[in-house]
Amino acid sequence: MIFNRNVLKKIWKEQQALVTGGASGIGLAIAKKLHSLGVKVVLCDLDSKKLEAARGAVGENARTLCMDVTNLNTVETAVGKFINQMGPIDILVNSAGITGVTNVKSHEVDPANVDLVFRVNFFGSFNTARAVLPGMLRQNYGRILHIASIAGKEGNAGMMAYSASKAAVIAMTKVQGKELAETGITVNSLAPAVIRTSMVEAMPPAQVTYMTDKIPMKRCGTLEEIADMAAFIISPEASFTTGFTFDLSGGRATS
């Protein structure tokens, strides 16, 4: 479906977007971009203080939803209550994620850390999608964007838990995209290479160097670049692509 510019602006302003991991980094950057387009933004994170600060950075009319995305019961209850009070979620951006312990060989990784990374990165995205999809199906429209990683396609040495969890996110994207292809709902993922965020800054320098050296452009991506691409993927105009993983890798990805 093709929209002219004025109609598109109206559609954006009628939509509500839930952005997980919205208190910082990629999630906050995407939330700011959507807010600038007129979308009603709902910031979701676990830290209430950071959420309130992020709300101020996005705009006074931004809303917040403090919840633990790893707990399905919590997510379904919180999202259900929010929708009853504030209306449907038209857009879901799953940006909540952690790297876990890095720069460690896979046979030396603590299984508890692997479990934690999967609970945040994969199950967090699964839980929130599960909570918003019934409403999207009722209105025959929706946009879901899972933030994956180039590591989920190629694997990063020293990042077994993170790479495997993001590979699972990519596989989930393909499944959901196929299942929902005739419903007016698109489900896609975005696989960036290194984006300079606080999460990346907290990683061992050797791990960051290893990842950056793989990028032909020899630089990290910016938050502005990922926000701009995300806005396109979840726009009303992007109606004929689903189950796909977009790259933002500075030339690293070749498939």
For residue 110, the tally of other CB atoms under 10 A from its CB is 12
Mark whether 162 is an active-site residue: yes
Strand positions, DSSP E, the chain: 16-20, 40-45, 63-66, 91-94, 142-147, 185-192, 245-248
**Catalytic member of 122, 126, 141, 162:** 162
Rounded-to-integer distance, Cα 173 and Cα 152, Å = 12
List, in order, residues 6 or more apart from 254 with CB less than 8 Å away: none
Inter-CA distances, 242 with 45, 105, 144, Å: 26, 35, 9
Residue pair 57/113 in contact by the 8 Å Cβ criterion:
no
Q: Which of the residues are catalytic?
A: 162
